[in-house]
Amino acid sequence: MLIQIVSQGVLGNELVAQKNAPLAAVAGRVFGEFGSSLIIAGGVISIFGSLSGSILSYPRVLFGGAESGWLPSFMAKIHPRFATPYWAIIVYAVLDFVFAISGGFKQLAIISSSALLLIYLGVVLAVIKFRINNLSDTKPTFRLPFGLTIPIIATISILWFLTNLAAKEFIGLAVFVVILSLIYWVLQRQKR
């Protein structure tokens, strides 16, 4: 919120016109051309770091899914020399590449954010279910204060964000969820 307040204070009504790089425009106004270049360079380094981290961590999700039997078993293979889940890494890298070249950055950011919102929604709904059913261990664990207030506010907020998706984005997200649900259903039937 502070970034938004500072940006609004520096650019005023011009902030609306700065759709491509609003923070670079703010830095350019405050620090000149050097500030704008510094913000852009910082953004590039940050994105590179994030992508480098994702190529190391997200394939482990595919590996874990394959190890649990939710994904094809070949993704659970470990490289004999490097002890890494090489097929999971290859599949993740190929999927990442396909998604990267198939759409613009804005669409990918929206799809990624909305997919994360669905995951958060699942977690929040699980918290509500556990609270209602009073499912807990005998060990003392962390409990959110205020009972169900925070999870209910979070659920309403997430649903509000999801309803603000454009029709095309919402349809794309729905298709993605349906395809993943079908894959899960088929794999569960095969297990039985």
C-alpha–C-alpha distance, residues 113 and 173, integer Å: 10
Q: What is the pTM of this model?
A: 0.58
pLDDT digits (tens, 9 = 90+) for 77-128: 999 999 889 999 999 888 878 877 776 666 677 777 888 888 899 999 998 8
Does residue 81 lie in a domain region?
no
- In the prediction, which pLDDT does 105 show? 66
| Burial annotation 25-39 (CB, 10 A radius, 16+ → b, else e) | bbbbeeeeeebbeeb
Does residue 84 lie in a domain region?
no
Contact (CB, 8 A) for 150 and 144: yes
C-alpha–C-alpha distance, residues 177 and 26, integer Å: 38
Secondary structure (H, E, C), 84-142: CCHHHHHHHHHHHHHHHHHCCHHHHHHHHHHHHHHHHHHHHHHHHHHHHHCCCCCCCCC
Structural domain harbouring 183: 104-192
Does residue 184 lie in a domain region?
yes
Burial label, 80 (beta-carbon count in 10 A; 0-12, 13-18, 19+): exposed
Does residue 45 lie in a domain region?
no
pLDDT digits (tens, 9 = 90+) for 176-191: 788 878 877 887 787 7
Does residue 183 lie in a domain region?
yes
Q: What is the mean pLDDT of residues 146-154?
A: 88
Does residue 190 lie in a domain region?
yes
Does residue 37 lie in a domain region?
no
Does residue 144 lie in a domain region?
yes
81 three-class SS = coil
Q: With CA atoms as reference, report the closest residue to 120 among 65, 164, 159, 79.
A: 159
Q: How many helices (H) and strands (E) does the chain have?
A: 7, 0
Q: How many domains does the chain have?
A: 1
- In the prediction, which pLDDT does 2 show? 86
Confidence of residue 136 (pLDDT cuts 50, 70, 90): low
Structure-token pair, residue 100: 């990267």
C-alpha–C-alpha distance, residues 139 and 126, integer Å: 19
pLDDT digits (tens, 9 = 90+) for 26-83: 888 888 888 888 888 888 898 888 878 878 888 998 898 888 877 888 999 999 999 8
C-alpha–C-alpha distance, residues 34 and 84, integer Å: 42
